[in-house]
Amino acid sequence: MSTHSSHPDIIKRLKRAEGHLRSIIDMMETKGSL
């Protein structure tokens, strides 16, 4: 099993998840400040 070949895919998924989490955090922060 080669972890190196799947590494870029993992990074892509993590970056997508990071953007998703960031938008959720931004929504929560704006709702909390109101």
Radius of gyration, alpha carbons of the chain: 15
Return the pLDDT at 1.
Answer: 54
- Output phi, psi for 2, to 5 deg: -100, 115
Task: Evaluate the CA torsion angle 24, 29, 32, 33 in order and state its sign.
Answer: negative
B/e letters for 7-24, b = 16+ CB within 10 Å, e = fewer, are: eeeeeeeeeeeeeeeeee
pLDDT tens by residue, 1-34: 566 678 899 999 999 999 999 999 999 999 877 6
